[in-house]
Structure 1
Amino acid sequence: MGEPVVRNPVPSLLRALMTDHLDPGYEAAAASDPREPGRREAAVLVVGAMLVGCVFGVAFSQADRSSDEQLRSDTLSRVRDAESRAAELDSDRALLIDEIQTARAGALQNDAGGASLLADLNRLELAAGARSVRGPGIVVTVSEPPTLPDLSDVTDRTRGSANAAVLDRDMQVVVNSLWVSGAEAVSVDDVRIGPGVTIRQAGGAMLVDNRPVFSPYSVSAIGPSNRMQAQFSVSDAYLRMSGLEQLYGIGFDVTAEDTIEMQPSAVRSVRTAAGKGAP
């Protein structure tokens, strides 16, 4: 049996370098970490994904907000253009009506029959609100209550839709009471009240003859101012608005004016219907 081969012993330091790849301090720290391998990397990835999502969400929100603001600006611009165009058309209509009335007067006032017909036309147009009028009268001003300065005040001071305290029926009562008090012509915010003209609300907007009017609402009435003011002060409308002033804080004021001017109201064609077989 041959003699055993004697190998050269490997020094302990060289053996440690070949077998131990981690420094003892790192190895001890890794051994003391109770978390599973890879959990830290997964947490970092989740946090990074959340941050990226937040960045994209904020960017999308800002882009959507910019789009809404641009749409709102464009809508307001179109509304202002439409209002300006409507005002121009109203001015043109008033000029044309004056020209028609002048030409008609020149053609009819030369003989007795024409003068009588002209007087009847003037009377009917005045009743229909189709003529410009001017004279003394009174102005009833109704306004929404002022905004409460203390935002912590939760007192309910609203009556109708969209937090409006002044309703369409309030304005209707005021207008009807002015007619009863002797008014010869009535307008609401320069919109003449005539046959077929309505006062109503659509959402939070007050519409007179389908035209939006805004607080403070100015209701003008032409007629004998002293008599109208005396009769209006004891009318149902005055008592109603005085009560609303105390309950809801709306503005309510009545003043006499020496001169009030009103433009004619829109004249619409009257259509009639007859039953079958009627002449």
Structure 2
Amino acid sequence: MTEQEPQPDRRAARRSAARVAASRWRRWLVLTRRPTMWSLLVPIVAVLAGILFSTSGQASRGTDLRSDAPGLADVIRERQRLMADRVGEVAAVRADVDRLTAAAAPGSERIAKLSGAADALAAGAGTAAVEGDTLTVALDDSPLTSDQLPEWATVDDIVVHQQDVQAVVNALWRGGAEAMMLMDQRVISTSAVRCVGNTLILQGRVYSPPFVISVIGDPAALEAALDADPTIDRYREYVSALGLGYAVERTGIKTFPAFAGTLSLTSARVAD
């Protein structure tokens, strides 16, 4: 009977195999672990930045992306300057026409009669300067901001609108105004009052509030016409509630210049 060789320790072998398997499992977890949110965002941001730089370079082609065109305010100021120049030129041409007309027929009785009739109508038509006792009305936006408004009000309620200016103009004409100035321009019965947002456009020129209307006439009659107008009465309610500007003042003797716009009436309709 021969002597048997010693058998290896099965428990030790199993423990060694378990350690090897555990080591391989940890290595696989490290290689295949789930990526974090930051590790996903970094490459995405890098790709987007590259696309942005590429697009910007192609669009600008080495030039400045900031526009060199003048802003809207600059355009408006330039147009107003041109309009003032044109008004001066028109006034000079009219003066030349009057002078040459008088020189062409100094002894014409017919010319003299027509000139006299024209002079009599000039004040009412607005083609001549006029002087007299004046009343001035000023309309202005409210100083409130949107976050200061009561619940029932909107931002439209704190600005002066076209209908507000028109209501004052119409009431003053009804009250017997002999001549009228809106801001720094003479206006006549055919002058159009237009507003865009809270800016006023009159004969090609743009104005911001406060809007000032001055008239020559009987101050008491003019004030009574303003007080009797229902649209102005409604406006005064917002003056009290929201702080819109409304001021009426007797401003003494003043001289208004002649109307500088065109007198050609291109269209009309019967009032309702």
* TM-score category (smaller protein): 0.5 to 0.7
| Equivalent residue, structure 2, for 1:190 | 184
The alignment's C-alpha RMSD in Å is 4.0
SS of the aligned residue for 1:70 comes to coil
- Range that drifts further, 41-50 or 124-133: 41-50
Q: What is the letter of the counterpart of residue 132 of structure 1?
A: A
Residue identity in the other structure for 1:231: A
Task: Give the deviation of 1:37 after TM superposition.
Answer: 2.7
2:199 is equivalent to residue 227 of structure 1: no
What residue ranges of structure 1 are gaps of 5+ in the alignment? 1-23, 273-279
Residue matched to 1:9? none
Cα 1:38–1:205 shift into 2, 3 Å = same
Instruction: Decide which of 69, 72, 84 is 2:81's aligned counterpart.
Output: 84
Deviation of the 1:112 alpha carbon: 5.3
Deviations 1:117-155 (A, max 9, x none): 21211233333222333333111111111143xx64343
1:141 counterpart (133, 138, 141):
138
Q: How many angstroms apart in 2 are the aligned matches of 1:181 and 1:41? A: 80
Partner Cα separation in structure 1 for residue 187 and residue 90 of structure 2: 17
Q: Is the 8 A contact 1:245 1:252 kept in 2?
A: yes
Q: Give the Cα separation in 1 of the matches to 2:246 and 2:166.
A: 15
- Partner Cα distance (1:123, 1:220) in 2: 23
Q: 1:60 to 1:134 in 2, by over 3 A?
A: farther
Pairing 1:266–2:261 present: yes
Residue identity opposite 2:122 in structure 1:
E
Aligned residues: 239
Residue equivalent to 1:173: 167
| CA shift in 2, pair 1:241/1:57, >3 Å | same
Instruction: Describe how 1:68-83 pairs up with structure 2 within 5 A.
Output: 70=67, 73-83=70-80
The question of whether the paired residues in 2 share the 8 Å contact of 1:130 and 1:266 is answered with no
Report the CA distance shift for 1:206/1:77 in structure 2 as closer, same or farther (over 3 A). closer
Aligned residue number for residue 8 of structure 2? none
Q: Which letter does structure 2 place at the counterpart of 1:31?
A: R
> TM-score w.r.t. structure 2 length?
0.68
User: Is it true that 1:250 corresponds to 2:244 in the alignment?
Assistant: yes
Q: What is the letter of the counterpart of residue 185 of structure 1? A: A
Q: Which amino acid aligns with 1:133?
A: V
How many angstroms apart in 2 are the aligned matches of 1:178 and 1:77? Answer: 34
Match of 1:47 in 2: 42
Whether the 8 Å contact between 1:229 and 1:256 is mirrored in structure 2 is: no
Give unmatched runs, 5+ long, in structure 2.
Answer: 1-18, 268-272
Alpha-carbon displacement from aligned partner over 1:191-216 (angstroms, at most 9, x marks no partner): 33224321233455433345432200
Aligned AA (2:95) = D
Conservation of the 8 A alpha-carbon contact between 1:157 and 1:165:
no
CA separation of 1:80 and 1:230: change in aligned 2, threshold 3 A: closer
1:145-196 per-residue CA deviation (whole Å, 9 max, x = no partner) reads: 1143xx6434354474xx7632212111111111122211112112332243
Change (3 A) 1:139 1:97: farther
The answer as to whether partners of 2:142 and 2:158 remain within 8 angstroms in 1 is no
**Aligned partners of 2:170 and 2:158: how far apart in 1?**
21
